[in-house]
A and B are shown apart, each in its own frame.
Chain A
């Protein structure tokens, strides 16, 4: 058992590292610009209104609202709930836990119950209402993974009650390479984790998802902002270079 948890903690660290490397690789790609190949874009002047409007587009998923209001309802609830749940989960990764994370616990817990239902709604809308025409395999995979993880998370909260002290110890251990490779697994983890299969399933699925986390989480706010800048009404009637 000691070996299993140690291996799991190392695997978790490797997944975090892979996630960081993958994100950094994408960042490097995004920052490059082959100027010789890049045509002009007729940029428009950027006002404060554009930034504010783009922020509203991101926060309220307004572009989706314009094209599919039925889906928007589920997607907005899903994204908002996910954000609240992630904030609630920060308590397992931060020491000391910031005040705002404590304040968000009950809201985050409620969001955790809403999350699987919002996903179910999205799956139904996509698969039934649109007869699956717009569904891509990657989309199915993500929705199914999020649904499983969030459902297990909700069950952990209302039925299985994992030992949260052991969970926190484990998370902190997995984030500490020095402790991780010294071979000393804290006793609380081993004692607290006996028979915690639902938690382990929740955690392993979350790790797997982290490897396949959609890049739009980071990229979309920027493209939405760029679109706002590009698609605004033409000011004046003469285009100049």
Chain B
């Protein structure tokens, strides 16, 4: 029997998060919104079950309990099952949005993961490779740093120094290139000079490490990026990846140790503002029915829901449809939480739920706003056998990619 780490399970949680664990009423309302529960039917992944188990772990390793009754032992199988459940989660936060007592689950799950990492139980499979890959190449996919901006159109001018900075992010740069290409084309069209870091210097924002509870490299990555943007005179950093925006705005200040020397903006905010200020216009019409999928970390993460819609509404002829669950209640695409590679079947099944609804609503194109969603869309469409029955080929496109089409 292996020796168990007897330190308290509460060490990675803030007081507020411990309060959240105690606030859970086990009402189970969140179950209706959990995408993993929906496609697997596995109750062990459900939010109340994870909270109940983790509370038990805290109780068994509590100081008072250990003092009174000695060290409590937690069943190894239970720990392993819990680890799988907590890493299988997409961290979409839909459960937290539906939570009757307002638990911030999108933030709680990474901290539970952090605890399991500290105990040597997590992360799972490919998730373990991310820190080494980031150290080696600056991205969690272990792709050559020099290839990071190979998608950038030659006509796009990038300034050496500018008030405006653009951060592409790893998933966009390597796995969802039409999306980031659309970003820089839209930025170019606005005409305000913007700068980018050299390909070798634009490293991972830290989100994949943060979300898998592997914090060791975070401080170094954040400091390197913040200082590099500061050197380029950046006052506002623009990014399209919701996970990066979430990480930069919410967590970089903590890892940097002080206030960031620049603000952060999602690209849809910047483009929406540019339209409003008359700096941007659309020339072509698009006679299509579009359905916009709210990315979890953009809607529930940082509260941006209207700007992407306003941008799409600027396209003449385009008809904007809505999913039944939209904005902060949107359904997860299945690709988040660094789970899409380890639990690929779940991710595909979850994404297909969105595809089904888009087909039922007779959308011509499903409009995404997240590179993680984008990176799995193709595979989800490939195996989707009902799209023919539901009115033709459904296209997948990113907001900025679509905008670049109609300039």
B356 in contact (CB, < 8 A): no
B375 in contact (CB, < 8 A): no
Contact of B19 among A134, A219, A237 (CB under 8 A): A219
Distance in angstroms between the alpha carbons of A220 and B255 in the assembled complex? 29
Q: How large is the interface on A (under 10, 10 to 19, 20 to 34, 35 or more residues)?
A: 35 or more
Q: How far does the Cβ of B68 sit from chain A's closest Cβ, in whole Å?
A: 11
Distance in angstroms between the alpha carbons of A230 and B236 in the assembled complex? 23
Complex contact A133–B20 (CB within 8 A)? no
Q: How far does the Cβ of A87 sit from chain B's closest Cβ, in whole Å?
A: 22
Chain B residue nearest to A224 in the complex (CB): B102
- Supposing A223-B102, A234-B304, A239-B263 touch, asked if A39 and B254 sit within 8 A by C-beta, the answer is yes
Label chain B's interface by main secondary structure: helix
Interface stretch of the complex, out of B9-17, B123-131, B141-149: B9-17
B→A interface (CB under 8 Å): 10-16, 18-20, 22-29, 31-32, 48-49, 52, 62, 64, 97-104, 107, 111, 114, 210, 236, 245, 248-256, 258-260, 263-265, 269, 272-273, 302-304, 307, 328
Chain B residue nearest to A22 in the complex (CB): B64
Complex contact B18–A29 (CB within 8 A)? yes
Chain B residue nearest to A65 in the complex (CB): B100
Complex contact B102–A227 (CB within 8 A)? yes
Interface 1/0s, chain A 77-113, versus B by CB < 8 A? 0000000000000000000000000000000000000
Chain A residue nearest to B236 in the complex (CB): A238
Q: How far does the Cβ of A57 sit from chain B's closest Cβ, in whole Å?
A: 8
Residues of B within 8 A of A29 (CB): 10, 15, 18
Interface residue ranges of A194-241 to B (CB < 8 Å): 214-216, 218-220, 222-224, 226-228, 230-234, 237-241
Distance in angstroms between the alpha carbons of A31 and B104 in the assembled complex? 18
Q: How far does the Cβ of A207 sit from chain B's closest Cβ, in whole Å?
A: 21
Interface residue ranges of A61-75 to B (CB < 8 Å): 61, 63-64, 66-68, 71
Complex contact A31–B15 (CB within 8 A)? yes
- Supposing A25-B64, A63-B99, A223-B19 touch, asked if A241 and B236 sit within 8 A by C-beta, the answer is no
